[in-house]
Structure formats: C-alpha cells, structure tokens
Structure 1
C-alpha cells in the first residue's frame, strides 16, 4: 500500500514538473518579438542579423508598399511602394530592441536617401518599421547615431505595416550551396553573395562611416 502511494506521489510530482516546464517553454516562446528594418539588399541585412545572439530568425521580404503579396520582380521594377526589408525575430530576454536598432544604424549608410551602396532607387532605401512600443527606442537610436556620426541621418522611422516574405529563392541566400550563373561565372549562392557584397562596396562604405563601431563590416 505504501509502495503504491509512493508511486502515485512520484507520478503526480513528475506530472507537475513536466507541466511547469511545458508552460515555461510556451510562455518563453510567446515572448519572442519582431523588428522590421530596410537596409538595402535584404540578403545582407538577413545575413548580418542572423549572426546576433538572441536573434532567432531573420526573413527577407518587403514592407511599406500598397500592393498585397508583391513578387520580387514587381518590387524591383518599381511602382508597388515596397522596400526590400528584413523581419527580425528576437528574444527580448537575450537582446534588447535598442541594441538591434543601434546595430542596424551602424550597418547601413543612413545618410543616403537614394538607395544603399551600389543598389539605387526607392526599393533599396532605408527605414525602420516600428511598432507603437518600438517608436521611442527607434527615435532614440536614430538620434544617437546622428550624434555619433555628426551627419544628418535620412533613415525614416515609419509605422510598422504588413510584411511580405520574399519567395524561398531569396531566403538564407548567403549560405545556400545551390549553383547559379552570375556575372562572376557559375557559383554557389553563398559564394555569389560574398562576391556581390564585396563588389557592391557595402562594407567599405560602412567602415568609412562608422569605423570600429560597424558591427558587421567584413561579414
């Protein structure tokens, strides 16, 4: 009888522990938040922020336009109003949105209103798409970046809008092994990405602007 009672007590205790662990895991998962930014080529922004501790995922896509579910060709052709953007999913218990925003401003050329680096036109301009609870942090990060840089920052803080993920071809481009034909010859997407990033002058310009404060230059 005592043995049976002990087994029941142990089983009940185990169920409670497992239940609390599951509840804690669910609660933790529900705490994940997103930040959407536009920083020129979305391959580069995605590659940069997926390296940040506390970031769970970065997805390439489009934001700020008027056309629902735009295709990549529609966006780069112009007329949809979208910017190439990246939605960053992060754990606020591991990294604060203010940190991500400070890193973002120092990973772009926020003085350029005509595009970013070799990519020109509205599609490649910069922006922060802030939710209501991110506006204050976004404005503070912009002001701090402007003070540090000593130049006028033109990157706008916009109201967060619908984010549309790009098709699978563009996701994780920087680490894909699929072979494609490029102007550099046949290369894996990963190697093509590195060649493009170097040729576009992204890291060179970011280093010129931010020096040692640039968190991703050379990545």
Structure 2
C-alpha cells in the first residue's frame, strides 16, 4: 500500500516516497554503481563487506521506512561518508523497486551507512537511528505502509550485541509504549536504482514536500521531542 492521499495540493507537489515516477534520465555514474552488491550466493547469504571499501571505513545497515529519508538523516552526521539506498532481508535475488514495493519479497527498503569509526561509533549510529524512526509501528513508517517500509537493524555477528543493547536502552527508557523493530542478521545488500540515490539532493523541493506531507518530522517530535 503506497502513501495515503494527503491532499490534492500536496499530491501535485510531491511524489510517492521512492516512487518509480521519480526516475531520472541521467546516465552518469553514481555511488550505487561504485559500491556493488556482495558476491552473490543468494539474497539470504551473509552480508559481505563491499570490496571497494577502504580498510578504515565500516558499514551499518538499517531500515527506516523510505530510504530517501534515511540517507538524508544519516549523511548529515559527522563521520558518515555516504549512505546508499537499497534492499535487504528478503528472498528475491536482484530485487527491483517495483518488486519490493508491490510484491511480498520480504525485502525492506534499507540503507547502508558507510562511516569512519574513529569519528563516530556503531553504537552512536544505532542510538541515533531510533531518533529517526517510529519503532512502535509494525505496519510501515509514517504515511508509508507495507512490509517494505518496516523498521529493522541488520547486524553482522560482531555488531549484534551493541544493537541489542541500544534496543534495550530504548525499551527501558519509557519513551515509547513498545518497540517492534527487530535486530536481524545482515544478509546480501542490493543497491537501489540510480534515481533513488541522493534523491533528497537531486530533487530537494519534491523531497521536502514529501517529507512534510508524510508528517515524518512531526511524528518524530511527538515521540522523542525536539
């Protein structure tokens, strides 16, 4: 199920989150092309660090609803070099936006955060993650409903304890009534199509209109305060 109909005026200004109608005609090289998926033995294969990643950089994979917003939120943080929109957690090899959005593939709209651990730690990133999502919603995020818009934290074996500790902190904080966000094993990450990468930079007016219309920041303020 795609976005709720916000209003005729807002619909004229915004696109549905991550809509295929947002496709760009640009054929230039993008970051999605420079960070290839892990060597594939299937969608459920254990996540493999991208071969082109520098030895001083690390990755974190999360799902927080529309991946445009996850990119926007995390690329602002010190120590984060880039965030790549993609798909993970499902059973379909080489998933597309159309398949993930309109079929039950099990994939989430996910984002791979590339960061320098000497500047920001994995735990700091995950603690910040909670402030960017509604962990009480099992049906999606904000105005985006459907299984691909659910929240999740995808961890490598050495990340799991920190992710679980961060989740426990939120559960015990009393700020939210429940936390439905799972901590899952990180599996193959597939970069999304070119037009999804850096959408918030390439289409700032439409992105801001979508984000406002979806009430993402308003709901976050309700949950976590300003």
Q: Which runs of 4 or more aligned residues in structure 1 lie more than 3 Å from their structure 2 counterparts after TM superposition?
A: none
Deviation at 1:29, TM superposition (A): 3.2
**d(CA) in 2 for partners of 1:84, 1:52:** 20
Q: TM-score, normalised by structure 2?
A: 0.75
Residue 130 of structure 2 corresponds to 105
Residue 211 of structure 2 corresponds to 197
Unpaired runs of 5+ residues, structure 1, are 1-27, 177-188, 213-219
Deviation at 1:31, TM superposition (A): 2.2
Residue 171 of structure 1 corresponds to 197
Task: Identify the structure with the greater strand proportion.
Answer: 1
Instruction: Give a deviation string over 1:42-78, Cα, whole Å, max 9, x none.
Output: 0000111000000011000101010111111111002
Residue 207 of structure 1 corresponds to 221
CA RMSD of aligned residues (A): 1.1
**d(CA) in 2 for partners of 1:112, 1:201:** 14
1:119 maps onto 2:133 in alignment: no
Residue 27 of structure 2 corresponds to none
2:76 to 30, 38, 51: 51
1:160 to 186, 194, 197: 186
Aligned length: 173
**d(CA) in 1 for partners of 2:73, 2:91:** 27
Unpaired runs of 5+ residues, structure 2, are 1-52
**d(CA) in 2 for partners of 1:122, 1:128:** 15
Instruction: Give a deviation string over 1:9-54, Cα, whole Å, max 9, x none.
Output: xxxxxxxxxxxxxxxxxxx930211000000000000111000000
Q: TM-score, normalised by structure 1?
A: 0.77
Larger Rg computed on CA atoms? 1
User: Using CA pairs below 8 Å that are at least 6 residues apart, which structure has the higher relative contact order?
Assistant: 2
**d(CA) in 1 for partners of 2:161, 2:177:** 21
Deviation at 1:150, TM superposition (A): 4.2
Residue 138 of structure 1 corresponds to 163
Equivalent residues of 1:106, 1:145 under 8 A apart:
no
1:84 to 86, 89, 109: 109
SS at match of 1:192: helix
Deviation at 1:151, TM superposition (A): 1.9
Equivalent residues of 2:164, 2:183 under 8 A apart:
yes
